[in-house]
Amino acid sequence: MAFRGQRRRNETHESVTDPEARLWRKSRRAEAKLCYLGHVVTENRHGLLVNVRLTQACGQAEREAALEMARGILGGSKRVTLAADRGYDTREFVASRGS
């Protein structure tokens, strides 16, 4: 199937094998592909995986998964610090950290 000249939208492009996959593109210049999003939290010192999630591709999936995974980190009485790339540096995301 050739899609040249057509706008790709979730309403017009659906996977034959997996209808829950959604169109997603990594950057403005990249083409949109049907996929899911994978999210990973790693331990900073040794790079060990702490938590992994797979979500449907949508505009807020990365931030929602990050909040959910951060809430699952057990720190007990110790302070836990997190780091993320600048894509997470928004007022809404930073404000929602404690809720």
What are 4-24's pLDDT values in tens digits? 566 666 556 666 677 778 777
Tell me if the pTM is above 0.75: no
Would you say residue 29 lies in a domain?
no
In a domain, 86, yes or no: yes
Let me know if residue 48 belongs to a domain: yes
| Cα–Cα distance list, 35 to 13, 40, 43, 66, 90 (Å) | 12, 16, 26, 19, 25
Supply the pLDDT for residue 11: 56
For residue 82, being part of any structural domain is answered with yes
> In total, how many domains does the chain have?
1
Structural domain containing residue 57: 37-98
Model confidence over 29-49: pLDDT tens digits? Answer: 877 788 888 999 888 888 899
